[in-house]
Structures are given as structure tokens and as C-alpha cells.
Amino acid sequence: MSRGILVFSEQDEGNYELLTKASEFTSQLGEVYALVLGQKEQVTIQSLVQYGAKRILTVPGVDPNTLDAESIAFVLSEIAKNSGPDILLIRSSRLGKEIAGRVAQKLGAGCVTDAISLEIKGPDLVAQRYTLGGNTISSEVIMTTKKVISVMPRSFEARPGQSAGAAEVKELAIPSPRVEMVERRKKTSESNNVESADNLICVGQGISRKEDLVIINEFCVALHAELGCTRPLAADFHWVSEERMVGISGKKCKPKLHVSIGVSGQIQHTVGIMNSKVIVAINKDKDAPIFKIADYGIVGDLYQVVPEFTRRIKAART
């Protein structure tokens, strides 16, 4: 029998998602703990309780933005070691994923990162994650007593009302970080909703010049869609901002409608759009792998197809 689940995310929404999921497992896996870094309003603590936290550990008097993975991993391991909670659920943000490996090593724990689902099957807690660059999904069970799992953001819905009543709150201390934060530069590019959009259009190397993106943008406007792209368009050509890169090292999206334009369909990209409800692909190469995962496809010149799509959608809306 597990001695509880410890949840950690550096941001509130992440905590709520993980607490909601952890609360579903309480009868099998034990009570839910949450760690809060820095001074938080009483109302935040109260929200954690509403999403299911039974024991809340706080580290007041620190600026969480100045902490490094090592110091946060230390606090988590102090809570979890010995008779503390056996299971750690950490939001798989970049920081969270980095903490996961470090705290797992401290605890001698097995670790699964970037889990996309969690399920109890018989005696086991089974986590699923993409492997082989997105070619496969593996189902994994951690065999050590202590278990560390980092969970992809937005894998679970956050629902309040998991628990009623007060939680126990306890204060902890944290060691000072060995990696010093000098400066945080907010990314200048505009914020976007690529990950949460209902409609997503992704463009790849089929587009031959940056100026031609204008026809893609017109299509986005007509379809009320967010623009995403493959890695080369952002990282190599800098035609589209990196925050719009979709795939294994970029955004993972679950749109209702996804239109893929001039994208060959390499697995490192398609893993980011695999969970779309409907996929439409446009590519001039009939053997492009993208057609294998498409509901609808057009083998043809995107410079012909895209403006026609835009025209039809606009016509349908008026």
C-alpha cells in the first residue's frame, strides 16, 4: 500500500490538474500532499484543498523564481523519504522534468517522465509515454517503492470539489541554490494558444518563401485557427516564432481540427498533432507519411489548394 501521493508544479493550474488526478487514486494510493514554494495567499492554499490536497507543505520566505532544480528536488526528497508519500507526481514543465530525474536519483526511485496517462491496473500504477521519437507509446510500471512520474501539462482536467474540509499545513526550509539566477528575459514574441486551440494549422517546408506565409495566415484567419509549424521553419529558417513549433521538442496539441500544409510528416513533428480529432493534410508528394495519419488529404500544390480552402471557408461563413 502506497503511503500517499506528493504533487508538485511551479504553477497553480498544474497543481490543480495533478491534484484532481491524484484524488481519484486516494483509496488505493493514499493521501494527497502538495508542496507550495514562496509566500502564497491563503486563498491559494484554500484552492489546493478544494482540488484535493490533504497535507500542504509550504516553504515561505523564498522567491520561487530564484530556486534551482537541485534545491527543489532536495525539498521534495525530504518530504518523500522514509515514511513520506511514495508517489511523486510532478508537472512535466521543463523545470519539472529536470527536477524529476534529480529527486528520483536522490530517492533511489524509478522514474517515468512526460507521462500522458496514469491508470491503476490491478496492483500497478501504469504510466504511458511516447517513445522511439513518437513512433510508439509505452506502458510502464515503476517497480521501486518510491516512484517519480512527471506528467505532461494538460493531460488531466482540473476539477474542484475533490475534498471538503481543512488540510494540515506545515512549513519547511529549502537550501540555497548553487545555480544563481541572474536575469529572467520574458520571451518577446507574442503569446499564443497553439496548445489549446480548437483549430490548428501547421505549416512545413512545402512553403518555399517566408513571404508566402501570407496565404497561410489568411487561411488561419478564415478558419479561426492558430498557426503552428515544424521545427525547421522556426529553428533553422526563423520564419515562424519558436513558440509555434509543434512536435516532440515543441508544443503538443489536441485540436478538434488540424490542417497540415506542406508537412512531410516526420514522427518528431506528428507526435505533437497525433491526438487531433480530425486531420486534413495537403502535400504535393503522394507518398508523404503525413497522409498515413490523415482523415482527409489532398495531393496537390499548396499554392493552389490553400487559397481555395480559404475562399470556401469564407463563403460558408457568410
Instruction: Kindly identify the residues of this chain, within the stretch 109-168, that bind other proteins according to CB under 8 A.
Output: 109-114, 126, 130-133, 135-144
Answer yes or no whether residue 296 interacts with other proteins by CB under 8 A: yes
Written as nine digits, the cell of 304 is: 493552389
Site for other proteins (CB under 8 A): which residue of 119, 166, 249, 285?
249
- Asked whether 27 and 108 are in contact (CB, 8 A), the reply is no
**How do beta strands 117-121 and 199-203 pair?**
unpaired
Site for other proteins (CB under 8 A): which residue of 41, 180, 190, 211?
180
Residues 30-89 that bind other proteins (CB under 8 A): 68-70, 73
Of the pair 85, 255, the CB lying nearest other proteins is at 255
Task: Report how far residue 170's alpha carbon sits from residue 159's, in angstroms, rounded to the nearest whole number.
Answer: 24
Answer yes or no whether residue 219 interacts with other proteins by CB under 8 A: no
- Asked whether 70 and 102 are in contact (CB, 8 A), the reply is yes
Task: Report how far residue 85's alpha carbon sits from residue 145's, in angstroms, rounded to the nearest whole number.
Answer: 10
Minimum distance of other proteins from residue 131's CB (angstroms): 6
Give me the sheet containing 168-171, strands edge to edge: 110-115, 147-151, 87-91, 5-8, 32-37, 55-59, 168-171
Answer yes or no whether residue 106 interacts with other proteins by CB under 8 A: yes
Answer yes or no whether residue 266 interacts with other proteins by CB under 8 A: yes
Minimum distance of other proteins from residue 292's CB (angstroms): 8
Task: Report how far residue 313's alpha carbon sits from residue 162's, in angstroms, rounded to the nearest whole number.
Answer: 43
- Asked whether 4 and 26 are in contact (CB, 8 A), the reply is no
3-state secondary structure (DSSP) of residue 158: coil
Site for other proteins (CB under 8 A): which residue of 18, 67, 223, 227?
223
3-state secondary structure (DSSP) of residue 291: helix
Of the pair 24, 140, the CB lying nearest other proteins is at 140
Minimum distance of other proteins from residue 127's CB (angstroms): 9
Size of the site for other proteins (CB under 8 A): 84
Site for other proteins (CB under 8 A): which residue of 27, 83, 122, 184?
184
Answer yes or no whether residue 170 interacts with other proteins by CB under 8 A: no
